[in-house]
């Protein structure tokens, strides 16, 4: 069986159209965001919505919980959907909810979403105080049950401490090297080196605010950046985490940025004059366009094996090493 095609971060306005586009694009697995600022009950309602879609479209999608489900998706021509949180708000202030959410299928949880949380510091805070006391305990619990620590929206100190504290490799599911494009959300060489040395994974983002040149970034420029990152981190530590936010109204990006924490509008990576979702680059509108990335990676000289790994094989291996329970060390 060939290596799977995996996108390790999407947040779309889910519909039959999008699920069919996943199949057209040959996407075997997608890590989907089911919570930004939702509390426990609100996040449960998002699981409930996906359960309805799994029932309604069983020929297109099903819930993934293990690496073997990616292989099942390949064998049956469907897409395995893996749940994740971009904020720890669904565990509220109760560490025991980590196990509950893992039982419900959540496999990734960010310790922060831009701001200070109960667990760590976000990348938009002026001071990064690192992993909190509760954060250390939650990391241990996530390690125990097999839930991946995701530091995509966290500050540098918090990210480095999470790598050090975690007994298992962590992930930065959707970001790019800061040396290529100096967005607050992109990551320093120090973080990327520590991530690679610890066995962690980086997912490359196609969200325009994370791209050099924004929406005008070319696929060739994107592929060259990936090739340079291969030289720094090794091809086996890299994958795709597109951060595709498809078919949402602009009111949703306001929710993503502001939640319930602010009465004033925070524009995040946008601005008052461009407050909504930025246009996607022409080479990646939706799930049907993953072939454009694979072709560009071949064009910049990566081997067939390296391309297959970046397009999904590396995430598949990471899933196999990460989603089982405790007693699995860093790979």
Q: For 317-330, write each residue's pLDDT tens digit.
A: 999 999 998 764 44
| pLDDT at residue 275, as a whole number | 67
- Measured distance CA(117)–CA(188) in Å, rounded: 22
The answer on pLDDT for 107 being more than 70 is yes
Least confident of 169-173, 224-228, 259-263, 300-304: 259-263
CB atoms within 10 A of CB 165: 16
Place of tokens 């996607």: 280
Angle at which helix 67-76 crosses helix 314-322, to 10 degrees, equals 130
Domains of the chain (ranges; CATH) run: 6-322 (3.20.20.140)
| pLDDT at residue 276, as a whole number | 78
Residues 13-32 pLDDT 10s: 999 999 999 999 999 999 99
| pLDDT at residue 1, as a whole number | 85
The mean predicted confidence, pLDDT, of the chain is: 95
Position 4 confidence tier, pLDDT thresholds 50, 70, 90: very high
Cβ-contact 28, 60 below 8 angstroms: no
Cβ-contact 105, 111 below 8 angstroms: no
| pLDDT at residue 330, as a whole number | 44
Q: Which helix (H) or strand (E) holds 238?
A: strand 238-240
Cβ-contact 52, 46 below 8 angstroms: no
Q: What does pTM read for this prediction?
A: 0.95
> Environment class of residue 20 by beta-carbon count within 10 Å: exposed (0-12), middle (13-18) or buried (19+)?
middle
Position 251 confidence tier, pLDDT thresholds 50, 70, 90: confident
β-strands 106-110, 29-35 pairing: unpaired
SS3 category, 38: coil
Is 324 or 158 the better-scoring residue by pLDDT? 158
Average pLDDT on 101-110 reads 98
**Is the Cα dihedral 181, 185, 188, 193 positive or negative?**
negative
Q: What are phi and psi of 251, to 5 degrees?
A: -60, -25
- Measured distance CA(167)–CA(39) in Å, rounded: 27
Position 253 confidence tier, pLDDT thresholds 50, 70, 90: confident
Cβ-contact 131, 162 below 8 angstroms: yes
Position 6 confidence tier, pLDDT thresholds 50, 70, 90: very high
DSSP state of 297: H
| pLDDT at residue 328, as a whole number | 46
| pLDDT at residue 327, as a whole number | 60
Residues 129-146 pLDDT 10s: 999 999 999 999 999 999
pLDDT-above-90 percentage for the chain? 88
Position 284 confidence tier, pLDDT thresholds 50, 70, 90: very high
């Amino acid at each position: 069986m060939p290596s799977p095609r995996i996108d390790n971060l999407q947040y779309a306005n889910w519909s039959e159209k999008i699920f069919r586009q996943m199949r057209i694009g040959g996407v075997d697995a997608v890590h989907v965001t089911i919570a930004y600022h939702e509390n426990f009950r609100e996040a449960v309602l998002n699981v409930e919505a996906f359960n309805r879609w799994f029932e309604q479209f069983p020929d297109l999608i099903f819930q993934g919980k293990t690496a073997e489900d990616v292989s099942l998706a390949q064998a049956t021509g469907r897409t395995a959907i893996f749940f994740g949180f971009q904020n720890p708000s669904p565990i509220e202030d109760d560490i025991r909810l980590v196990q509950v959410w893992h039982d419900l299928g959540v496999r990734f949880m960010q310790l922060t979403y831009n701001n200070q949380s109960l667990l760590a510091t976000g990348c938009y805070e002026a001071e990064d105080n690192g992993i909190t006391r509760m954060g250390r305990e939650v990391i241990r619990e996530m390690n125990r049950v097999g839930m991946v620590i995701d530091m995509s929206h966290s500050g540098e100190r918090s990210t480095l401490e999470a790598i050090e504290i975690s007994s298992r490799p962590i992930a930065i599911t959707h970001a790019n090297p800061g040396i290529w494009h100096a967005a607050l959300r992109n990551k320093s060489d120090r973080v990327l080196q520590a991530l690679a040395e610890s066995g962690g994974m980086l997912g490359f983002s196609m969200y325009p605010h994370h791209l050099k040149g924004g929406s005008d970034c070319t696929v060739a420029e994107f592929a060259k950046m990936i090739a340079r990152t291969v030289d720094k981190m090794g091809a086996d530590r890299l994958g795709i985490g597109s951060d595709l936010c498809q078919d949402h109204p602009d009111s949703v990006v306001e929710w993503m940025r502001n939640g319930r924490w602010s009465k004033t509008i925070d524009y995040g990576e946008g601005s008052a004059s461009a407050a909504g979702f930025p246009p996607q680059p022409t080479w990646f509108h939706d799930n049907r366009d993953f072939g454009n990335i694979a072709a560009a990676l071949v064009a910049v000289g990566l081997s067939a094996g390296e391309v297959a790994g970046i397009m999904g094989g590396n995430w598949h291996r990471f899933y196999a090493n990460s989603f089982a329970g405790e007693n699995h060390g860093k790979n």
